[in-house]
Structure 1
Amino acid sequence: MTERIDVDDLKHLTPETVEAYFGSGVQSAFILDGRVSARLEIDPQHHEMRLLCPAVGSNPDVTSYERISFDRVNILGEPGEWFELSVDAAGMHYEAYVLLESIVDQLRSGASFRHAVSESLAGLKDLLAGRKRMSEAVITGLIGELLVLRHVIGKLGDETALATWLGPLAEEHDFALEEFEAEVKTTLSEGRVHLIGSETQLLPTPSRPLYLISVQLTKAGAAADSFTLPELIETVRASVDSSRVRTFDKYLESLAWSQTDADLYSTRYQQRSVPKAYLVDDEFPAITTPRLNAVVPQRTLVTGVSYRVDVSTLHHTQPPAPLENFCEDTK
């Protein structure tokens, strides 16, 4: 079903308005400018925006743009052919709208469709190529680590806490604290089901206990205790001394975070439950290199091990300081 809104002169949509139309789940059609017969279609199901104009002049060249396509179409009840420029707007709803609005602005000033598209794409080329939202798994994983880091900063201070945070350095475990190491796993599921990415991720370092810290999140609307990823980042950054803020920012950049893309991360989250800690010992269901070596024939032929583990029914424990108050008590 398409919601068609006849507007003679729709000058500008705000980022909030664009997100509202994508969030509605209903395909919408707008007249952007009656003078040049420019129409905008928003297709939430396919995360697309489409600009339609009467086909006058030559076709634009968009072959070098992966997220942009072009076609000449017929519209029921309308004479002649129409140009249809489609933009894959996933993760960049407002940027796609800005592009199409720019094209219409140039059409209004008398430019041909081909020239308007060429000029608008040239102006937004870097933006279209560079802005890409992190995956949901990366986002939730980063949130979990930042929640732990924020807690450790409150207990040990920012200098020591940043030194313990190994996640951005691509080490096997996320935190190396004085008495133990911690691997933080974050999930949006109702159960504590976590993806383990390798056979060494839950392999304890010799003579150092390893704890899996299970964090559960849920997506939240306007809940008072909800937060976005950018808000959490700013909260943690505010607790870091100015002399170490650059170190913190470099850590985030290594995880593909860019402050200029903060507007792409508007989803609000809240903690579903109090985090729990699980000691990764001989009874923990971990697939590790030594265990594989012991049971798998021609072990060297097995590579790229990843698996999911459900710790919901396992006995949780109390980790040592500074995480003893971060995780649920065993009492």
Structure 2
Amino acid sequence: MKPYEPWERLSPDEAKRVDVAGRFDFFWVVLEAGMPGLMLRLPGLPQPLPRLPKLKNLVASFRPVSGGSAFVLGLKERSQVEIFETLCRDVVEAGEAGADRDEALVRALQRTRRWYHLLRGGKTNGLSVEEQRGLVGELAFVRELVSAFGPETAIEAWTGPTGSAKDFELIGSCVEVKARRVAAKPFVAISSEDQLADVEGSRLCLRVVNVASAVLPEGQSLHDHVRMTSEMFEEDGAAFDAWEETLYSTGYDPENDYDERRWLLGAANDYEVTEGFPRISTPLAPGVENVRYAIALDACEPFKLEGDLIDVIRGGLDHE
């Protein structure tokens, strides 16, 4: 038997309330080209207008409707209608938990982004403490790059979350960022043979930043660090879309509970990886794979970067 679809006998000029007892105006609708859709009717466009998630096979938009405006989700790929119905019902459930219409919209958007995250293979149980530490360290460097070179250059440079061997790749330079506990043993972990491998035509630098954490009521949570960074991309639409995609590739999910743990950025030390730097060199011997190792920070001292890391990066960009 064909599964029941809420759009099944719905014409383009009709709207059917998702829940007749619902507190907010969520409707099943049929959009252009027969697309199944979900609509949250609003009295007007929210100000400022929230940025909408970019979802493969889905469209998300604000559009005018009779008597006001609406947030609309539509499905481009009809073969995925069953999972789209599940997504829509979950978005409605999240929105209905809002205290008012504005919060209903915020929660609906947040739940839509969560689906984006989950459909990309994101983690449902959240990042580990060490993964959070590493992300805080990388976000701090992203903010430095935005301040120095602008949002577009910064987000293009943040390549680690999308599968690159290096955390940051720019013209003429690459940067690997390692975050460590202040009281930890003076070592940093290297997770592959490629992380500190030379890149032809580029200077390779290692940033080691102290990131302390504690379960405290005050201070900056991981969500706060994400929010601070996100604000730096809001004026550039294309860069903001790339920022969101890269951020969710790290496994970060805005609905995971990161509110109790606070993170404090400490001192950062920069090193240049050149001949003689303590590392495992590539290519590896035949049959040796999946290398992980640790390097002692005192052995890195002779390679401490002279000058400012941002100046090194700027030098590479100026000679492109």
Which TM bucket (shorter chain)? Answer: 0.5 to 0.7
Letter in 1 for 2:220: F
| Shift in CA distance, 324/180, structure 1 to aligned 2, threshold 3 Å | closer
Larger Rg: 1
Partner of 2:252: 257
Where 1:250 maps in the other structure, the secondary structure is helix
Deviations for 1:240-295, whole angstroms, at most 9, x for unmatched residues?
Answer: 1251322211111111111122x2453111123x21111111121011223x4xxx
Q: What are the within-5 Å matches in structure 2 for residues 39-188 of structure 1?
A: 131-188=124-181
Misfit runs of 4+, over 3 Å: 220-224, 318-321
Equivalent residue pairs, number: 187
Change (3 A) 1:177 1:242: closer
- Aligned 8 A contact 2:215 2:262 in 1: yes
The aligned counterpart of 1:247 is: 242
**RMSD (CA atoms):** 2.5
Identity value in percent? 24
Which residue is equivalent to 2:296?
310
Q: Secondary structure at the match of 1:214?
A: strand
- Helix, strand or coil at the partner of 2:255: helix
SS of aligned partner of 1:300 = coil
- 2:223/2:258 contact within 8 Å kept: no
Stretches of structure 1 that go unaligned for 5 or more consecutive residues are 1-125, 293-298, 326-331
Q: Which secondary structure does the structure 2 equivalent of 1:252 belong to?
A: helix
Whole-angstrom distance in 2 between the partners of 1:242 and 1:202: 32
Of the three residues 274, 277, 286, the one matched with 2:279 is 286
**Which residue of 307, 310, 320 maps to 1:322?**
310
Match of 1:237 in 2: 230
What SS is found at the alignment partner of 1:301? Answer: coil
Over 3 Å counting, the alpha-carbon distance change for 1:141 and 1:183 in structure 2 is same
Q: 1:67-105 CA distances to partner (integer Å, 9 max, x unpaired)?
A: xxxxxxxxxxxxxxxxxxxxxxxxxxxxxxxxxxxxxxx
TM-score (norm 2): 0.53
Alignment counterpart, residue 200 of structure 2, candidates 202, 206, 210 = 206
| Alpha-carbon contact 1:227-1:268 (below 8 Å) kept | yes
Change (3 A) 1:223 1:155: farther
Q: How far did 1:320 drift?
A: 5.2
Distance 1:156 1:238 in 2: 16
1:208 deviates by 1.1
Which of 195-204 and 169-178 deviates more? 169-178
SS of aligned partner of 2:286? helix
Find the counterpart in structure 2 of residue 50 from structure 1. none
| Distance (whole Å) between structure 2 residues aligned to residue 161 and residue 195 of structure 1 | 25
Listed one character per residue, the Cα deviations across residues 49-81 of structure 1 (whole Å, up to 9, x for unaligned) are xxxxxxxxxxxxxxxxxxxxxxxxxxxxxxxxx
Pairwise CA distance, 1:161: 0.9
Alignment partner for residue 271 of structure 1, among 240, 247, 265? 265
Q: Please report the TM-score for the alignment, with normalisation by the length of structure 1.
A: 0.52
Contiguous gaps of at least 5 residues in structure 2: 1-117, 314-320
Assess, with a 3 A threshold, how the Cα gap between structure 1 residues 319 and 169 changes in structure 2: closer, same or farther: farther
- Larger relative CO (CA 8 A, sep 6+): 1 or 2? 2
Aligned counterparts of 2:182 and 2:209: Cα–Cα separation in 1: 10
